[in-house]
Amino acid sequence: MEAIIRPDQDSAAHLVARIIAKELRAHPSLVLGLATGRTMEAVYRVLVQMHQQERLDFSLCRTFNLDEYVGLAPTDPRSYRYYMNRRLFSHVNIDKRNTHLPDGTATDLDAECCQYEEKMRRCGGIDLQLLGIGAAGHIGFNEPLSALRSRTRVKALSPATVEQNAAFFGGAANVPRRAITMGVGTILEGRRCILLATGEKKAGVIAKAVEGPITAMISATALQLHTRCTVVLDEAAASQLKAADYYRWIFENEPEWEEFRQSPNRDY
Ligand code: GLP
């Protein structure tokens, strides 16, 4: 794992978008794993701008989202399918038939989970998996005690997650209690993982996820097992990391990051 610290939320999101754009230009039929949540909105905004201003091409790109609420139809504004259409898919030249999310309204949810895994396999697996982190340290909806080898399945949401998402549903009582989520094992199979976290509220959980011991209580800690995982943070989210100076040195000095050190001279 490596941690990259950028001065603020905007530059952290820009860096993630630039990494995605670089991979997409090198591999136009990239299989992209996508995440939702407030943190990702800035990333999708930059990707849309890159499409409009630099013709970043999504025409061959395939996508698989991490999760979806059980019971919400794609047309429901609170569903993750709706979020993805609104934030990204409807503004770029992606073929919507190549965009996949679990179907939270399927009558047989277990079969839907198996089929989702099968679709990923048929596409050759995820090349680049984008991740956020929940307040309690979950990736996707892999709540406390999620097996570190778990696959796509239905998961009951923890009270912390319900609370975190209450605002989108007009109160905790209206938040769906279950979701379909890629498993921790599924996520770890992605060839590259990028986790983005910004803001002071994430500082405590980021310190645990990056520098703490691996535990099923905090599914993001499993990323320490991944051979190519980059955690991109702003200063606020990095504020409780013990080795922050070392991580800053890496971004400032390692050749891999050279092209990303120069900030692009653009208005987004
Ligand atoms: C939800 C999603 C996660 C996401 C998290 C963080 O729980 N299932 O994939 O990482 O929210 O959201 P935010 O970026 O709004 O903090």
pLDDT at 261: 92
pLDDT at 153: 98
The best mutation among 9, 16, 34, 39 to test binding of ligand 1, ranked by most ligand atoms within 8 Å of the C-beta, falls on 39
Query: What's residue 264's pLDDT?
Result: 62
**132 C-beta closer than 6 A to ligand 1:** yes
Q: Which two tokens stand for residue 91?
A: 């503004």
Give pLDDT < 70 ranges for the chain: 264-268
pLDDT at 268: 58
Question: Using CB atoms within 10 A of its CB, is residue 83 exposed (0-12), middle (13-18) or buried (19+)?
Answer: buried
Q: Is the CB of residue 67 less than 8 Å from the CB of residue 103?
A: no
Compute φ and ψ for 234, nearest 5 degrees: -95, 170
* C-beta of 161 in contact with ligand 1 (< 6 A): yes
Pocket test for ligand 1, best of 138, 158, 194, 201 (most atoms within 8 A of CB): 138
**What is this structure's pTM?**
0.97
Question: Residue 72: what pLDDT?
Answer: 97
Q: Which uninterrupted H or E stretch holds 231? A: strand 229-234
Q: Which residues contact 117 (CB under 8 A, 6 or more apart)?
A: 151, 152, 186
Q: Would you mind telling me the total number of residues written for the chain in this entry?
A: 268
